[in-house]
Structure 1
Amino acid sequence: MSLTELDLQYIWHPFTQQKNMLPPIAITQGRGSVLIDENGNEYIDAISSWWVNLHGHAHPYIAEKLYRQALQLEQVIFAGFTHKPAVELASRLIPLLPGNFSKVFYSDNGSTSTEVALKMAVQYWWNKRAANDEPGLKRNKILAFKNAYHGDTFGAMSVSDRSVFTLAFHDLLFDVIFIDTPTTENLTETFSLIQQHAHAIAAFIYEPLAQGAGCMHMYSASAMDMLLGFVKAQKIICIADEVMTGFGRTGKLFASEYMAVKPDIICLSKGLTGGTMALGVTACTQEIYSAYLADDKLKTFFHGHSFTANPLACTAANASLDLLLQPSALNKIDWLTNANKLWAGQLQQSAAELGIKNIRTLGTILAFEIEQGKDEYLNNISGAITQKAMAQGVYIRPLGNTVYIMPPYSLTNEEYEKIKAAVMDILSNTA
């Protein structure tokens, strides 16, 4: 049996209706920005394999570092022990992060990094109340954006928009105060709503400037800065979910760099290891951490998992950072940012003829909607676009009728032009 036939017999795929699904393509090799299937067909990975791959597939530098670490130490319990890859990664991340961060807490993916952040923020107020630092307060509500997506575990689902992703579980999710992403027109109304509930709000969680799974919705940095300033004035902990936006995706190392007001907690994953292994980071300020320092053991942060700070994953993250901070990678981010702006301008000029709208770009991300059917994740045009692009050697996976690209930084000019040509051909024959 082929890999695809064995897969169909044994495997359940994510975010995929299994009935009548197309047979999955068996990928046997990755090289730079290209994926290669078992028949030798090549596909440019224009979405970085769900936004995780930064430097290209099977990068020899990361692979060599992993090999050497695997021969030395592959895993050790992280309660009572430590190791060089974890210490090195934390000490390197802290100075790079957009804010006054002090401590790094490790987990295993983006969803758990947000779970950690939510628990960290809620227990911060519980600890303060127990210590009589804030005796009159019981802050346990979360403020979040409509259209948000923070992961698929229950806490992360609760602070995400009520959508097709969470529909079956709505009765089990905790209540959240949802607000619109900020504009100069809605800030006054939003401020009023926040002020009504500020005494009960523990934290505000947000995807800075770009909501990934929310169909790449983008919003204003200046309005967000005003919103963050107001939220901070209410003593509400600010949690930046930079799982998707981190490590150069928005044109800066972190999207929070676009705002003057910085978060108290930041969540990282996806590009953290260059797409090589699963790893999550939740970093916090000293003020947050200090609320857990006590003789009372009930104020301990009781969270962790077996693979916390896995040495191999931390090694991959250190290797990815080595590559990311080189001028060649930073220059490629700038190049992709400028190339996207140029292409967005070209798309804007012919939007009506192509049947597209809402063309937008932020750093290495470019997105637009196809004007067919509803603007929603379940729009069937997604699968048709993917198939047409694959036939031209390009892999994209639209979010419903939202087409986007977010390529790895290994992308060449020729590969970028091939992505453009494929997308333009599809649009010309779809409109």
Structure 2
Amino acid sequence: MPPALSDLQQRSLSHVWHPCTQMQRAWQLPPLPIVRGQGPWLYDEQGRRYFDAISSWWVNLFGHADARINAAIKDQLDTLPHVMLAGCTHEPAVQLAERLSARTAGVLDHCFFASDGASAVEIALKMSFHHWRNLGRPAKQDFVCLRQGYHGETLGALAVTDVQVFRDAYDPLLMRAHQVMSPDARQALPGESAADVAQRAAAELEALLAEQHERIAALILEPLVQGASGMAMHDPAYLRAARELCDRYQVHLIADEIAVGCGRTGTFFAFEQAALPDQTPIWPDLLCLSKGISGGYLPLSLVLSRNAIYEAFLDDEVARGFLHSHSYTGNALACRAALAVLDRFDQDHVLETNREQAAQLTAALAPLAADPRIEHFRQRGMIWAFDVREPLAGARFAERFHLAGRARELLIRPIGRTVYLLPPYVLDPALSAWLAEQLRATLDATLSENTDDADRAPEPATA
């Protein structure tokens, strides 16, 4: 029997087209009606609470209704909510661009603003092609992406995405991109390390660039963690190899840090972990950022570029400029929220605190990591994932796990048979122990023969 719907659920299903949702199925599994959030918790109409174990699609870094981000947005609201960035400028956009450039030691010294991750990827692809065109090399119009990679669902971003459920229906509309081996460490052959897998993947990339570099504009990749395909993690050695190969063959390197940036992997930018042995940092040519940069408050994305790319667009001819825009580019409220996020990193030593939180939760998850029902337990910074062994996962595993989690105050959405955690940066030892306990109980309920417990509605919160 489908569950009885609240008024909010009924109205939502009648008028809202929800993302990544088969709406026919949504009537049997209706959207959770959330009325407020506080810290890591979300609350429904009945007062039940749910720990936001995935940071609301990986955006909510410091929990819901963070007092300092709230205050920054309220202050900005009283002065300048928005002004177009074409022909005008404002302090929050300028300061955000300056502070992000400083985090790359000025290597990526220009910032182009957008609204969402897929838009940032579109911008980076267009910048790369247009840069080469302005330099008199229009043949460089191909792109290289990794197998299992995900970069968004607009047409350009989807063309460099290898998650079939997203791209299959639209494949006839897409440009063709070259796909090369993912450095996913789970592909290790007997006796191989993660670095060995990275080396094998880099060799395939080298073979392609050696043959096709005259036509290739850029390589795009997700540094360290390929998110939407199942939290596939790889060794930083691949990033070092990719940087060297792109330099050798004159190909741009685009880092999609939309999901992995803002401290999620243990450094503010994931690419920082690919420094050379002498600690010399290496950087991409274009870096896309979104999700956590505004703390889960307002849509914001951006592309950081090297000066050499920016300068190729400087000309008296308008058509040689980068003619990409949307009305809310560099929205002042969103930029002010992002500045408050950077303030939290600088004032609260977030990266150091995250290392402590990561160690606490990893220790709490140790018994689960040894569970014979799972494989490939992995962790990078504030990201944890494991795969439930086949055929234990069975049909509709992700949906059943999601429901079992809700019964235990967890909001969690597996990707296929991959269960992952990207919690907000607010863990303490007690919360880590509770989270590990509930995750284990959720797995037990999902894999048990009796699924009644998985489908049972959660009890109201007691705290």
Assess same fold via TM > 0.5: yes
Rounded Cα–Cα distance in structure 1 between residues aligned with 2:106 and 2:236: 16
Q: Retained in 2: the 8 A contact 1:344–1:361?
A: no
Tell me how far 1:328 sits from its aligned partner: 4.8
Residue in 2 that maps onto 1:170:
171
Kept in 2: contact 1:340–1:365 (CA 8 A): no
Tell me which residue corresponds to 1:388: 404
Higher mean alpha-carbon deviation, 160-169 vs 43-52, is at 160-169
Hey, what does 2:278 align to over in structure 1? none
List gaps (5 residues or longer) in structure 1. none
C-alpha distance in structure 2 between counterparts of 1:185 and 1:128, whole Å: 33
Report 1:43-54 matches (<5 A): 43-54=50-61
Unaligned runs of at least 5 residues, structure 2? 1-5, 184-197, 276-281, 449-463
* Structure 1 residue 325: Cα displacement: 2.1
Q: 1:297 to 1:319 in 2, by over 3 A?
A: same
Letter in structure 1 aligned against 2:332:
P
Corresponding residue for residue 238 of structure 2: 223
Contact 1:162/1:170, CA 8 A, preserved across alignment:
no
Q: Which moved more, 1:333-342 or 1:88-97?
A: 333-342
2:322 alignment partner in structure 1: 301
Q: Distance in 2 between matches of 1:193 and 1:155?
A: 21
* 4+ residue segments displaced more than 4 Å: none
CA–CA distance in structure 2, aligned partners of residues 74 and 189 of structure 1: 48
Please say if 1:56 is aligned against 2:63. Answer: yes
Query: Which residues of 2 match residues 302-381 of structure 1 at below 5 A?
Result: 302-343=323-364, 345-350=366-371, 352=372, 355-373=373-391, 380-381=396-397
TM-score (structure 2 length as normaliser): 0.87
Distance 1:94 1:216 in 2: 28
2:94 corresponds in structure 1 to 87
Pairing 1:18-417 to 2, within 5 Å after superposition: 18-21=23-26, 22-97=29-104, 100-129=107-136, 134=137, 138-161=139-162, 163-182=164-183, 183-260=198-275, 261-343=282-364, 345-350=366-371, 352=372, 355-373=373-391, 380-417=396-433
Classify 1:379/1:14 alpha carbon distance in 2 versus 1 (closer, same or farther; 3 Å). farther
Deviation at 1:346, TM superposition (A): 3.3
Quote how far apart the aligned CAs of 1:342 are: 2.6
Give, as a single letter, the amino acid of the residue that structure 1 aligns with 2:66. Answer: H
2-side partners of 1:348 and 1:24: how far apart?
Answer: 31
For this pair of structures, how many residues does the alignment match?
Answer: 420
Cα distance change on mapping 1:109 and 1:205 into 2, 3 Å? same
Residue 377 of structure 2 aligns with an amino acid whose one-letter code is I
Q: Distance in 1 between matches of 2:205 and 2:163?
A: 19
AA paired with 1:323?
R
How far residue 99 of structure 1 moved from its aligned partner, in angstroms, is 6.9
Shift of 1:204: 0.7
Measure, in 2, the Cα distance between the counterparts of 1:98 and 1:226.
21
Which residue pairs with 2:454 in the alignment?
none
TM-score (norm. length: structure 1): 0.94
Q: CA RMSD in A?
A: 1.8
Asked if structure 1 preserves the Cα contact closer than 8 Å seen for 2:361 and 2:432, the reply is: no
- Shift of residue 374 of structure 1? 9.3
C-alpha separation in 2, matches of 1:422 and 1:66: 35
Is residue 148–residue 211 contact of structure 1 (8 Å, CA) maintained in 2? yes
CA displacement 1:217-256 (0-9 Å, x = unmatched): 1111113312321122111011000000001100111110
- Tell which deviates more after alignment, 410-419 or 225-234: 410-419
